[in-house]
Amino acid sequence: MDDTSIICDYVTLFVDDAASTTGTDLANGKLVWNIPINSYYFKDRGNVCLMSIADAALPRELGENVVIMTQQGFNGTTSQVDSAAADKINADLAVLGSFSNMTTTPLSNFRMKFSSPEPIKLLTAAKPRQITLFVFDEDKTAKDMSSQPLDREGHFTIKFQYVNPEKQRDLLYSQEYKPAF
């Protein structure tokens, strides 16, 4: 697929804005944003898109490593076959990306860096009216973002990459539900 078949929208989500949205649970790392329809520019697009994090920043106080997940990905799950029951998280969560604390000056300044050698692109419904992200530690514990200043800092710029509807006919996007045995 060449770049001429791609149409993109970028939506920037501030953690501060999620703090007052119904459904947000800062203490358990759940962030919810309601997205107005006019946030999406292009009208001529297919009914599915690829969702990825184009840019992001989080406060260093969140810790060493942070994993950002969402339930909106059709093609992403979390495999936890050998995890203890107490350690399991919702299996339909898909990773969008991760952050690591990086030292910028030895022993004095630290910053949280979004690590993305290749952006994770999750297949999702086009023009979502609500975006929910989950913030976890690498040990699968939810990050508590309810204390100051964590509930006021950070942002995510989400990229929605749409396949041109004329080109989409050539591609087969479908969801397969396998029966459980």
Taking the domains of the chain in order of start, what are their residue ranges? 3-79+89-168
Report the b/e string of 145-168 with b at 16+ CB within 10 A. beeeebbebbebebbbbbbbeeeb
- Residue 141 to residues 14, 43, 66, 73: CA-CA distances in angstroms? 22, 39, 10, 21
- What count of residues does the chain have? 181
Task: State pLDDT tens for residues 70-120.
Answer: 988 777 766 656 665 556 566 678 888 887 766 555 555 455 555 556 788
pLDDT value at residue 72? 81
Mean pLDDT, the chain, whole residue set = 76
Sign of CA pseudo-dihedral 165, 169, 170, 174:
positive
Q: Which residue has the tokens 């184009």?
A: 54
pTM of the model: 0.77
State the burial class of residue 29 (Cβ atoms within 10 Å of its Cβ: 0-12, 13-18, 19+). Answer: buried
3-79+89-168: CATH topology? Jelly Rolls (2.60.120)
Instruction: Round to whole Å and give the CA distance between 72 and 129.
Output: 11
Task: State pLDDT tens for residues 121-163.
Answer: 888 888 899 999 999 888 778 888 887 665 578 899 999 998 7
